[in-house]
């Protein structure tokens, strides 16, 4: 049986709630602590394909680094935005759960349960 992967930040309440939800529903999962083990650009592209979202939708625009790095510029390419996430993983939206070629952002946490229907 394929396990889900949760891209998790234990300091984030939504990430903790999503992890608890997976456990409550007995969904087998692996935890990827993406701040300790950042995703590379290819992995981010795969995750975006699973999410079916543009790269801007997985960037946390409220982080100081977002403004400091000028990521609000509409002139930036997707590759430049992905490079910023690779270099500064805390810019990635959290949590994200991936399962069998599909993924959801856990905001709200219950949204990830759609993957298992």
pLDDT tens sequence across 93-105? 999 999 999 999 9
Q: Is 94 a catalytic residue?
A: no
The pLDDT tens digits of the residues spanning 18-67 come to 999 999 999 999 999 999 999 999 999 999 999 999 999 999 999 999 99
Question: Which residue, 46, 11, 2, 17, is CA-closest to 112?
Answer: 17
- Please identify which residue in the block is written with the tokens 């650009």: 41
Domain annotation for the chain: domains and CATH numbers: 4-116 (3.40.30.10)
Percent helix, strand, coil in the chain, to 5, is 45, 15, 40
The residue from 12, 27, 53, 86 that is catalytic is 12
Which pLDDT score, from 0 to 100, does residue 1 have? 64
What's this model's pTM, rounded to 2 decimal places? 0.95
């Amino acid at each position: 049986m394929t396990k889900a992967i949760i891209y998790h930040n234990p300091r984030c309440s939504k990430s903790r709630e999503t992890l608890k939800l997976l456990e409550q529903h007995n969904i087998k999962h692996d935890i990827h602590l993406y701040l300790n083990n950042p995703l590379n650009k290819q992995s981010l592209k795969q995750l975006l394909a699973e999410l079916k979202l543009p790269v801007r939708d997985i960037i946390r625009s409220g982080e100081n680094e977002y403004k400091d790095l000028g990521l609000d510029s509409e002139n930036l390419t997707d590759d430049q935005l992905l490079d910023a996430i690779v270099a500064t993983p805390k810019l990635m939206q959290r949590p994200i759960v991936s399962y069998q070629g599909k993924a959801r952002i856990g905001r709200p946490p219950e949204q990830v349960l759609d993957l298992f229907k």
